[in-house]
Amino acid sequence: MNRILVVDDEKNICDLLSLYLVKEGFEVVCANDGEQALEKFADGKFDLVLLDIMLPRRDGWDVCREIRKTSNLPIIMLSAKGETFDKVLGLELGADDYVTKPFDSKELVARIKSVIRRTKGTGGEAATDIQEVEYENLYVSLTNYRLRVAGKDVDAPPKEIELLYHLAKNPNRVFTRDQLLDEIWGFKYFGDSRTVDVHIKRIREKLEGVSDKWAIKTVWGVGYKFETR
């Protein structure tokens, strides 16, 4: 049974999310402030964190930072704020997704299932199928969500690995931002194309200068491609 940590200071939202998630077969643990969230995270094993931003004691951004110091567990940020700055900051800190309140509970549950399914390598393809690509000084695997750069393992959130893998397994093919949102995030995304830009920026920082035989290129006015030479 998949276990989810739901963090929100509004008890009615925690109760509503718990109701939907338990009905869908999840085990749910709730926390109502940032400190409590980190304590419960440290005490238990979870498959995903659903994290509100505006929290007492420690806000969601701080909680996300702390979790990312030790774990690449999927994080979906949840907030009433919808400004681009908030979305970009959450993604910069390592969140995998960002949902703005008010939200449709059924669609949120679908997105949670999608993130967990991809992280565990189950769903459309059998978990035992080998899903990996390799280039000079680069190895990306969806089988075990592993990224190696210049022979060294590099920590990266699931969405970064999925995006890099998708580009690298289709060398020299140009993808629009909307295509990448659809194909990586899996269904209609609440966010916008800036989500892709933020993830590409973070991936590039990890790959900078490791090879002159390939690169993630921006195709101005269109999107991105993994270019090989």
Give the distance from CA 103 to its chain's centroid. Answer: 18
Domains annotated for the chain, with CATH where assigned, are 3-120 (3.40.50.2300), 132-228 (1.10.10.10)
Q: What is the DSSP letter of 61?
A: H
User: What single string gives the DSSP state of each residue in 115-131?
Assistant: HHHHHHT-SSS-TTS--
In DSSP terms, which residues pair with 147 in a beta bridge?
140
Could you report the per-residue pLDDT of 24-47, keeping only the tens digit for each?
889 999 999 999 999 999 988 899
Whole-angstrom Cα Rg for the chain: 18
Write down the pTM of the prediction. Answer: 0.62
Question: Tell me, what DSSP letter sits at residue 213?
Answer: S
- Find tokens 């966010």 and name the residue: 191
Could you report the per-residue pLDDT of 162-216, keeping only the tens digit for each?
899 999 999 999 999 888 888 887 655 555 678 889 899 999 999 999 999 999 9
